[in-house]
């Protein structure tokens, strides 16, 4: 997977999560059941997004040049183009391999995070199964009668097993095809069977437990995304509130059910299982306060999801998947053009190539080259310089017989700041013309390249003052402490400009 492909998948996921959280914010006054349904639609979209992305025909969306420059691989420069005296050529050739190695490390880090989350999920599920296997069948007649009555009134056809566990700290439910309700000893003797069982049966009827597992798996896959944790907390809270609303719909009064909730939650401490992979009735802290406040709010919406809302949500999810899944961000992915390969006896029209890039920066640069005027290089329009398609013609122009053309090409490469071009820029530190040498030093400083400090420090003794001044400034940009002794000597340079740049560079290194 290329860097842009990975970036696209991460961006699609991030946009989907952000849209989902914004939707839940807009539905703040809606019923908890409808908020849960909206969150589930979002989870399904997140789960299916990679499949839709790979299956749908792409809808190309060009990335801005500044963004594409971050994710596109370095341009592979043909050996026939590279100047023979370019220093540290091996470093430039190794850039793609270093980028690939970094990508493998990041992928390994991601895989470790996924495995840790999935392992924790598996261990919690194993613990839940063991606790359930050790539980005993509930024999309290009041609870059995309440279970039978509520199953019928709530339209549940699936058989539901009710157990009692000494390890449980509060009632909870889990399971899909064969759901189980596990009760703790304290709740059997002190809590209202109708209220507790109505809450857990509401979870079973709404298939909350399998959706909780789906959410946990998605969290494992996208563990690096901070909004996923906020989404999971919101889903868990709304799921409990929706089950609370179902208890009220079954006939419980808000005050009586709130008392039951407090009674059960007061004993819920130390029960790690009930708070991880099961659907517990008990809550703590802010979540408990929010649930009780919602119960006692008389005008709160408590409606269930209607058939039309269900189909509308499913259609909206499908449209979202098609819209986001089909978008294909396109970077430059530049390959060296055959027309710019050196051919004996010919000279490619590199300036014309710059003019055809449809970038005002390079259009103006080409005009400055044709006019032979370095001062004309700046374009009036603001556009990104970071366009890799300009690298081939600019590298060819470094070989121009015209000094100002070489100077303009070096200046442009410095503005672009692509690491793969640094060796070619460094080669011009030895250019016979002082303006080109000065521009090459400044470009390396702008590109934050420290591999050529030794020749740059030696250039502080260049016979041309403009070169010495530009090199001093570049060394200050690079924080080159090795240059301090020579920079101190330049404080007494006969040229005031050189002395001033040396003073500035030394101040930058303090």
Give pLDDT tens digits for 42-83: 999 999 988 888 888 888 777 777 667 666 666 777 766 654
Is residue 454 in some structural domain?
A: yes
Domain closes at, from 247, 266, 283:
283
350 and 416 co-located in one domain: yes
266 and 350 co-located in one domain: no
Distance of CA 457 to the CA centre of its chain: 41
162 and 233 co-located in one domain: yes
247 and 353 co-located in one domain: no
260 and 395 co-located in one domain: no
Is residue 318 in some structural domain?
A: no
Q: What is the pLDDT of residues 222-252, one digit of tens each?
A: 898 889 999 999 999 999 999 999 999 988 8
Q: What percent of the chain has pLDDT over 70?
A: 86
278 and 198 co-located in one domain: yes
247 and 381 co-located in one domain: no
Instruction: Provide DSSP, 239-294.
Output: HHHHHHHHHHHTT--HHHHHHHHHHHHHT--S-TGGGTTSEES---HHHHHHHHHH
Residue in 382, 379, 449 with CA at minimum distance from that of residue 408? 379
Count the helix, strand and coil residues of the chain and give each as a percent rounded to the nearest 5. Answer: 65, 5, 30
pTM exceeding 0.95: no
Is residue 106 in some structural domain?
A: no
Q: What is the mean pLDDT of the chain?
A: 85
CATH number of the domain bearing residue 495: 1.25.10.10
Q: Is 54 helix (H, G, I), strand (E, B) or coil?
A: helix
- What average pLDDT does range 265-289 have in this prediction? 70
356 and 476 co-located in one domain: yes
The residue range of the domain holding 502 is 338-508
Is residue 92 in some structural domain?
A: no
Domain closes at, from 237, 258, 283:
283
> What are the Cα distances from residue 236, in Å, to 22, 127, 359, 440?
17, 20, 50, 59
Could you tell me which residue, 341 or 192, shows the higher pLDDT? 192
Is residue 301 in some structural domain?
A: no
Residue in 90, 124, 298 with CA at minimum distance from that of residue 213? 124
345 and 491 co-located in one domain: yes
Is residue 75 in some structural domain?
A: no
269 and 342 co-located in one domain: no
485 and 359 co-located in one domain: yes
Is residue 232 in some structural domain?
A: yes
Q: How many domains does the chain have?
A: 2
CA distance 497 to 502: 9
Domain closes at, from 262, 283, 304:
283
Residue the block writes with tokens 């939650």: 265
**Top mean-pLDDT range of 100-109, 276-285, 313-322:** 313-322
Contact 430, 459 (CB under 8 A): no
Is residue 108 in some structural domain?
A: no
402 and 498 co-located in one domain: yes
Q: Is 333 helix (H, G, I), strand (E, B) or coil?
A: coil
């Amino acid at each position: 997977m290329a860097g842009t492909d990975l970036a696209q998948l991460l961006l699609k996921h991030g946009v989907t999560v952000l849209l989902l959280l914004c939707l839940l914010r807009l539905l703040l006054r809606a019923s908890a059941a409808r908020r849960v349904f909206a969150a589930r639609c979002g989870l399904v979209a997140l789960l299916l997004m990679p499949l839709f992305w790979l299956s749908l025909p792409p809808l190309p969306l060009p990335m801005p040049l500044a963004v594409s420059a971050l994710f596109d691989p370095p341009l592979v420069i043909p050996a026939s183009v590279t100047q023979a005296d370019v220093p540290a050529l091996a470093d430039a050739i190794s850039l793609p391999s270093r980028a690939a190695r970094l990508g493998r490390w990041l992928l390994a880090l991601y895989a470790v995070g996924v495995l840790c989350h999935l392992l924790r999920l598996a261990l919690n599920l194993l613990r839940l199964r063991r606790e359930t296997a050790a539980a005993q069948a509930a024999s309290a007649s009041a609870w059995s009668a309440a279970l039978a009555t509520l199953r019928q009134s709530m339209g549940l056809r699936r058989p539901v097993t009710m157990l009692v566990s000494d390890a449980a700290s509060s009632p909870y439910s889990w399971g899909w095809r064969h759901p189980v309700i596990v009760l703790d000893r304290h709740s059997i003797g002190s809590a209202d069977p109708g209220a507790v069982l109505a809450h857990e049966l509401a979870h079973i009827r709404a298939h909350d437990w399998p959706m909780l597992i789906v959410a946990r798996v998605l969290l494992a896959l996208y563990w690096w995304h901070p909004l996923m944790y906020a989404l999971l907390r919101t889903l868990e809270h709304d799921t409990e509130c929706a089950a609370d609303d179902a208890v009220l719909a079954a006939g419980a009064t808000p005050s009586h059910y709130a008392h039951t909730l407090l009674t059960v939650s007061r004993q819920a401490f130390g029960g790690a299982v009930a708070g991880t992979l099961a659907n517990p009735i008990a809550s703590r802290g802010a979540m408990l306060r929010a649930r009780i406040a919602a119960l006692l709010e008389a005008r709160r919406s408590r409606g269930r999801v209607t058939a039309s809302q269900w189909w509308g949500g499913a259609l909206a999810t499908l449209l979202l998947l098609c819209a986001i899944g089909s978008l294909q961000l396109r970077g430059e992915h530049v390959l060296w053009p055959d027309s710019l390969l050196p051919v004996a006896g010919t000279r490619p029209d590199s300036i014309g190539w710059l003019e055809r890039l449809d970038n005002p920066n390079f259009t103006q640069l080409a005009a400055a080259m044709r006019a032979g005027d370095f001062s004309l290089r700046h374009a009036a329009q603001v556009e990104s310089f970071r366009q890799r398609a300009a690298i081939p013609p600019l590298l060819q122009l470094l070989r121009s017989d015209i000094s100002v053309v070489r100077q303009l090409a070096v200046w442009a490469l410095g503005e672009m700041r692509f690491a793969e071009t640094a060796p070619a820029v460094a080669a011009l530190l030895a250019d016979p013309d002082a303006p080109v040498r000065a521009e090459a030093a400044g470009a390396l400083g702008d590109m934050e390249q420290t591999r050529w400090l030794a020749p740059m420090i030696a250039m502080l003794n260049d016979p041309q003052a403009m070169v010495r001044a530009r090199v001093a400034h570049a060394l200050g940009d690079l924080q080159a402490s090795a240059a301090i002794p020579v920079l101190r000597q330049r404080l007494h340079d006969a040229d005031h400009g050189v002395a001033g740049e040396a003073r500035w560079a030394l101040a930058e290194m303090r």
